[in-house]
Amino acid sequence: MSTVKTGEPVLLSGNEAVAYGALAAGARFYAGYPITPSSEIAEVMARELPLVGGKFIQMEDEMASLGAVIGASLTGLKSFTATSGPGFSLMQEHVGFAAMAEVPCVVIDVMRGGPSTGLPTKTSQADVMQAKYGSHGDYPSVALVPSSVLECFTLTVKAFNISEKYRVPVVLLSDEIVGHMREKVVLPSQDEVEVVDRIKPTVPPEWYQHYQDSITGVSPMANFGEGYRFHVTGLTHDVYGFPTEKPSEISALLEKFKNKEIHNSRDLTMVEEFCMEDAKICIFAYGSVARSARMAVKILRQCGVKAGMLRPMIVWPFPKIPVENMLERANLVIVPEMNVGQLRKEVERLSNAQDKIHGINVLDPTFITAEQIVDKVRDLRAKNRRTGEYIIG
């Protein structure tokens, strides 16, 4: 495997942990274009991949990077790229292609301040909606959000596993803080890492359908150069992959995409509940901001406030059931985010009492602190003591 030590403490940055996670998941192809704050991932891959017989290439831009990744994945190599906002925007054309052609691949987006060139060295969470709706058309989106260095490793492995299992592009939404901070971690050894590989066809080539109909939305996948001689296109296609304009075949294809999310929703839900058993004040936080939220919960608990945190590790598909459960029991929901409230709106959509949902939205590069979250709770409680709306404690 990689040159990093496993089973004993090492000091790693989040970006390094992503790279080692990818290697542990079996990634053997990387194509990318340098961009702050993601470049360390490329640098580790450039060093490690040749040592394990893998392929690394620095492409001429981000469209080319994801194009090369998809090409390599079609030959059977687990493939990925890493970028940040501006590059992620350029990649959207091929995110859609990978979704349409059902080619497994992973895109790491280490978020930085936007829009446009924005704040290259400062953190943000403003690409959450881009990870969902960035490319045109309706397609299944999967996005994972790590909030620690260790999670950069484990969720990257998970991202590859989901991608291979469901034949979908998967996005890992890291951010500048998680990517650049260093923590002491103990990485699991290769045997301890659960690795999922794509399902290979068992039928002879004459019977092979590259997009075989299936209720779960997943079909076995052959690789180029193995005798199956299939066709891959970004055009709407039939079960063989050949272009089609027949309404019945088109709706079957788009239905299959929907089924990937619907029929696998349990597997695609991953949340952490922190002090949620009796919580009345719930903080819905993800990524680096969840670190402050965890601290805020601890402070509030010390003050006798029944606070808790719901932290999605997979934000797309949106964790509907855990959020509904939270909304049912909470008197107050705080959604701190480093954007204008991209996921707060998703929480509000599931609620019939939207006035109990409040955002903390910081758009400048000063990070959201635990104190800010605690202060917000205090202000809201004070206000509500007057109106008597919430009974908290």
Partner 1 sequence: MAEQTMVATKHPVRRPAVHEWLRVKKKFPHLWCPGCGIGIVLGGTIRALESLGYSKDEVVMVAGIGCTGRIPVYVDCNTLHTTHGRALSFATGVKLARPDLKVMTFMGDGDALAIGGNHFIHAARRNIDITAIIVNNAIYGMTGGQCSPTTPLGKRATTAVYGSVEPPFDTCELAKSAGASFVARSTVYHVKHVEQMIRMALEHKGFSVVEIISNCHTYYGRINMEGGAVEMVKAMREKSIMVSETMDYEKARATGKPYVIGVLHRDTERPEYCELYEQMMQEAIGRK
Binding site for partner 1 (CB under 8 A): 29, 31, 50-51, 53, 55, 57, 59-61, 63-65, 67-77, 79, 93-94, 97, 224-227, 229-235, 240, 242-243
Q: Which is nearer to partner 1, 80 or 166 (CB)?
A: 80
CB of 114 to partner 1, least distance (A): 24
CB of 80 to partner 1, least distance (A): 12
Q: Which is nearer to partner 1, 47 or 349 (CB)?
A: 47
CB of 100 to partner 1, least distance (A): 10
Contacts of 81 (CB under 8 A, 6+ apart): 30, 31, 32, 62, 65, 66, 69, 91, 105, 106, 107, 108
Q: Which is nearer to partner 1, 92 or 123 (CB)?
A: 92
CB of 279 to partner 1, least distance (A): 47
Of residues 227, 190, 147, the one with CA closest to residue 3: 190
CB of 122 to partner 1, least distance (A): 29
Residue written as token pair 């400062």 = 122
Q: Which is nearer to partner 1, 232 or 270 (CB)?
A: 232
Q: Which is nearer to partner 1, 50 or 393 (CB)?
A: 50
Residue written as token pair 């996948």 = 221
Q: Degrees (nearest 5) of the Cα angle 132, 138, 142?
A: 35
CB of 305 to partner 1, least distance (A): 53
CB of 235 to partner 1, least distance (A): 7
Distance CA 232, CA 100 (A): 9
Distance CA 227, CA 92 (A): 31
Distance CA 111, CA 179 (A): 9
Angle in degrees, 0-180, between the axes of helices 342-349 and 320-329, rounded to the nearest 10:
70
- Please report which helix (H) or strand (E) contains residue 309, including its range: strand 307-312
Partners of residue 311 on adjacent β-strands: 272
Q: Which is nearer to partner 1, 58 or 121 (CB)?
A: 58
Q: Which is nearer to partner 1, 96 or 118 (CB)?
A: 96
Residue 312, preceding peptide bond in cis (omega within 30° of 0) = no
How many other β-carbons are positioned within 10 Å of the β-carbon of residue 298?
A: 15
CB of 205 to partner 1, least distance (A): 9
Q: Which is nearer to partner 1, 73 or 339 (CB)?
A: 73
CB of 30 to partner 1, least distance (A): 10
Q: Which is nearer to partner 1, 2 or 174 (CB)?
A: 2
Residue written as token pair 């060093």 = 47
Look at residue 318 and give its three-state secondary structure.
coil
Residue 371 tokens read as 């104190």
CB of 225 to partner 1, least distance (A): 5
Please, what is the end-to-end C-alpha distance for the chain in angstroms? 51
Q: Which is nearer to partner 1, 31 or 332 (CB)?
A: 31
Contacts of 266 (CB under 8 A, 6+ apart): none
What are the φ/ψ torsions at residue 41 (nearest 5 degrees)?
-65, -45
Q: What is the DSSP string of 40-60?
A: HHHHHHHHHGGGGT-EEEE-S
